[in-house]
Amino acid sequence: MSAGHLLDQKRARKLLEQALSGGEIPPAFLFVGPHGTGKEEAALEFAKTLNCSPGGEPVADLFGASESETSDQGDTGQSDTGLFKGVLGGCDTCHACRRIAAYTHPDVIVRMPLPRPRSKPADPADPTEALAFKAEHPYRDPEIGGSNLSIGIADVRAVTRQLAYAPVEGGKRVIIFREAELMREEAQNALLKSLEEPPDHSLFILTTNRPDALLSTVRSRCRTIHFGPLPHDTIVTWLRDEGFTLSEEFDCAALARGSLKRAIAISEGGIPARDEALQILSWVIDGRSPQALKWAAGHTFKSGGGAQVTARQVLDELLSLTRDVAVIQAGSDVPLMNPDQDVLLRSIGAGATAGAGVEALEAVIAARGEVDRFVNLALIYTSLFEALKPLGS
Ligand SMILES: [Zn+2]
């Protein structure tokens, strides 16, 4: 596997290699895990394993032959050619591998959430530009504008239509839907039949950080592979390798919580949602709730679900902050999730009544659940800010 940090997704890697070795590869996978933990890269590595073609012939057709050859004759000299030998990933140098990495291989089809133009709802969105960006910057988001991001039914149909034909290059067609939690319900329904009965030469990989946002009928048709947060040292090494200067003030990798995407954002100046969460927290505990409610009023209505996205992000950050206060109040030596805010969080913990941290945490968890159930955001914010007040001294 070329991407070193993926080596630390040991469990996911083992399960994928078992699936590849088992003879019959499941028709659909669901890669589940937080943003920035290597799900999409693993999907590409899986596609490389099946399509790596150093000698011109796809590996998928060579599994049997290569296994018997290697067991009879030892190293046949093919170990650096990317032929599958129980290790996930291709050779990274052949024409097929290079095009998969660049998102230009005709049989590795990748779709991601894109803005839906109101003028042409029936047309599939063209992901070429966004994917070209992703090929260069796997852990950054392309600036594609618009908040109404989704994978629509037209995108799914454009892909499933191709299933009737054999793969262009004779290997295995791998269809990857990134951030599948943003696939519209009708699009998910349109995908069901293909997930259940894909042609022999095709398989699906859906990646998501919120599997609960997918229809249970979609989830049940996929083999789920979990990706956990990456280890601290992996993130430090990766940041160094990518040329980032590590902050001396705070442990950037600890703040990243196992996500390379988060690590980049922090290294480059912070995470807007966390700044917002910190601001809200300080307003509420300083008794300046009207300020917080004013913020809420500006973040309650936004077309295309943008306000929901903001609410999820900000509440996730508030969750980690209140969790840290609870940890401090409990006198636990568990590491803080926001170690750079140590002083502030300790002063909140010391000033508030005992148990206020846990109660605040519970209130944030409840609010977070309500956002997912599309409860009115103004109501959520109002009652949450009220529930956070005991954090103030
Ligand atoms: Zn290759």
Rounded to the nearest whole angstrom, what is the distance from the C-alpha of residue 4 to the centroid of ligand 1? 17
What is the CA(139)–ligand 1 centre distance, in A? Answer: 23
pLDDT-above-70 percentage for the chain: 87
C-alpha 92 – ligand 1 centre gap (Å): 5
- pTM of the predicted protein model: 0.82
How far away, in angstroms, is 114 Cα from ligand 1 center?
Answer: 29
Q: What is the structure's pLDDT at 1?
A: 41
- Residue 60 CA to ligand 1 center (angstroms) comes to 12
Ligand 1 mean position, distance from CA 102 (Å) = 13
Q: What is the pLDDT of residue 78?
A: 36
CA of 79 to the centre of ligand 1 (A): 11
> For domain 4-228, is the CATH number 3.40.50.300?
yes
Q: Among 46, 82, 44, which residue's Cα sits nearest to residue 62?
A: 82
CATH 1.20.272 location in the chain: 271-391
| Residue 95 alpha carbon to ligand 1 centre in Å | 7
- Cα(66) to centroid of ligand 1, in Å? 15
Residue 301 is predicted with a pLDDT of 74
Alpha carbon of 193 to ligand 1 centroid (Å): 31
CATH 3.40.50.300 in the chain is located at 4-228
Tell me how far the alpha carbon of residue 54 lies from the centroid of ligand 1, in angstroms. 5
Q: How much distance in Å is there from the Cα of 180 to the middle of ligand 1?
A: 27
Tokens of 210: 């919120």
Determine the pLDDT at residue 387: 95
For position 374, what pLDDT does the model report?
78
Task: Kindly give the distance from the C-alpha atom of residue 14 to the centroid of ligand 1, in angstroms, as a whole number.
Answer: 20
250 Cβ contact partners less than 8 Å away, ≥ 6 residues apart: 339, 340
Q: Determine the distance separating the centroid of ligand 1 and the alpha carbon of 82, expressed in angstroms.
A: 5
Separation between Cα atoms, residue 342 and residue 344, nearest integer Å: 6
Q: Which of 116, 109, 118, 127 is nearest to 171 (CA)?
A: 109
Short-list 257, 314, 253, CA closest to 281: 314
Question: What is the phi/psi pair of residue 111, to 5°?
Answer: -125, 145
Q: pLDDT value at position 3?
A: 59
Q: What angle do CA 220, 224, 227 make, to 5 degrees?
A: 150
**Model pLDDT, residue 260:** 92
CA angle, corner 236, sides to 132 and 3, nearest 5? 40
Per-residue model confidence (pLDDT) at position 5: 64
258 Cα–ligand 1 center, Å: 29
Structure tokens belonging to residue 194: 């293909």
Whole-number Å distance, alpha carbon 260 to ligand 1 midpoint, is 25
CATH number for the region 271-391 comes to 1.20.272
- Residue 94 CA to ligand 1 centre (angstroms): 4
CA-based nearest residue to 237, from 212, 270, 260:
260
Ligand 1 centre to CA of 97 (Å) is 4
How far apart are the CA of 244 and the centre of ligand 1, in A? 29
DSSP string covering 110-176:
EE--EE--TT-TTSPP--HHHHHHHHH-TTS------S-EEB-HHHHHHHHGGGGSPPTTSS-EEEE
Instruction: Give me ligand 1 centre to Cα 96, in Å.
Output: 6
306-329 vs 272-285: helix crossing angle, rounded to 10: 60
- CA–centroid distance, residue 90 to ligand 1 (Å): 5
Give per-residue burial for 90-100: e unless 16+ CB within 10 Å, then b: bbbebebbebb
* Segments of the chain with pLDDT less than 50: 1-2, 62, 64-82
What distance in angstroms lies between residue 176's CA and the mean position of ligand 1's atoms?
19
Q: Within 10 A of 164 (CB to CB), how many other CB atoms are there?
A: 7
* Amino acid found at 64: G
CA of 55 to the centre of ligand 1 (A): 9
The pLDDT value given to residue 66: 39
Task: Determine the distance separating the centroid of ligand 1 and the alpha carbon of 210, expressed in angstroms.
Answer: 32
CA–centroid distance, residue 159 to ligand 1 (Å): 24
Q: Which of 90, 20, 22, 19 is nearest to 53 (CA)?
A: 90
- Distance from residue 89's CA to the centre of ligand 1 (Å): 8
Q: b/e map of 113-127 (b: 16 or more CB within 10 Å)?
A: bbebeeeeeeebbeb
Residue 225 Cα to ligand 1 middle (Å): 24
- Ligand 1 centre from 230 Cα, in Å? 26
